[in-house]
Amino acid sequence: MRRFGLLSIALIASCLFTGAVLLQEWKSGIPWIEPQVVAPGDADTPPADAIVLFDGTDLSSWNEGKGWKVKDGFVEAGGKQGITTKEKFGDCQLHIEWASPEKVSGNGQGRGNSGVYFMQQYEVQILDSYENETYFDGQCGSIYKQYPPLVNATRPPGEWQTYDIIFTAPRFHEDGSVEAPAAFTVLHNGVLIQNHVELQGGTFWHKPPEYNKHDDKLPIHIQNHGNNVRFRNIWIRNVEQLPAREDQPAEKS
């Protein structure tokens, strides 16, 4: 009995030792660079590393804009043209607040229509889709003519709404072929409506999507579609990809 007891204790000790070895912390061995510290801001202020494109006072960060009216902390679309950023962007995070006209006029695509164009050719649709029927891949929050939104999170006409858009720019090979497509993730009023959807090309009204090789960074454009859509609190963050990983083991601790 004594020998059996000793063997049992030895077996238990062996199992505990083996388990301890198996439960050792796994480490990737990748020497990551420490992430930058960024103050996140709040409902009224952008993150510390954001570029403010419109703070309610002027359109100094934009080209065109003839006929657009700045007042009471917002800008209202007008005239015959849209507005285009002076600065160029690639991968980015864009925050924009907008409101369709409170007085309902028109229907379908003729009601509160505008759009945000990344690189001047990849559009997230703005439309008054509150109790307003139109084609699904053209309603509010759609990637125009390519993806309907997952849900319709549109508020009533005249109420302020938010888009938080993460855009990944396309990558091209030297011969112009696509190495990686453009992609969108979109939150509308805090609701996920596009979940990293990959584009088949530019978003066009008159032809199917297609890619044409372009620069790595290009301006952002807000469309004027003839409706008095209002905008405020527009800011953007450049999104840098993680640096290339160095294939060398980290120091053991």
- Domain ranges for the chain: 51-238
CA distance 124 to 202: 11
Answer whether residue 12 shows pLDDT above 80.
Answer: no
Confidence of residue 137 (pLDDT cuts 50, 70, 90): very high
């044409």: which residue's tokens?
212
CA angle (73 as vertex; 96, 67 as ends), nearest 5: 85
51-238 CATH fold: Jelly Rolls (2.60.120)
Give residue 253's pLDDT.
39
Answer whether residue 68 shows pLDDT above 80.
Answer: yes
Sequence letter at residue 140: C
Give residue 250's pLDDT.
44
Confidence of residue 44 (pLDDT cuts 50, 70, 90): confident
pLDDT digits (tens, 9 = 90+) for 99-123: 999 999 889 998 999 999 999 999 9
Give residue 5's pLDDT.
58
Give residue 242's pLDDT.
72
Q: How far apart are the first and last CA of the chain?
A: 44
**SS3 of 2, please?**
helix
Per-chain mean pLDDT for the chain: 90
C-alpha distances out from residue 223 to 54, 73, 214, 218, Å: 15, 19, 20, 16
Question: Where are the alpha helices (H) located in the chain, listed in sequence order?
Answer: 2-22
Across 7-17, average pLDDT: 58
Across 66-87, average pLDDT: 96
Across 26-53, average pLDDT: 92
Confidence of residue 62 (pLDDT cuts 50, 70, 90): very high
Q: What is the torsion angle, in degrees rounded to the nearest 10, for the CA atoms of residue 140, residue 49, residue 37 and residue 44? A: -60
Answer whether residue 248 shows pLDDT above 70.
Answer: no
User: What is the pTM assigned to this prediction?
Assistant: 0.86
Across 219-236, average pLDDT: 97
pLDDT > 70: what percent of the chain? Answer: 87
């695509």: which residue's tokens?
109
Check if the beta carbon of residue 198 is closer than 8 Å to that of residue 183.
Answer: yes
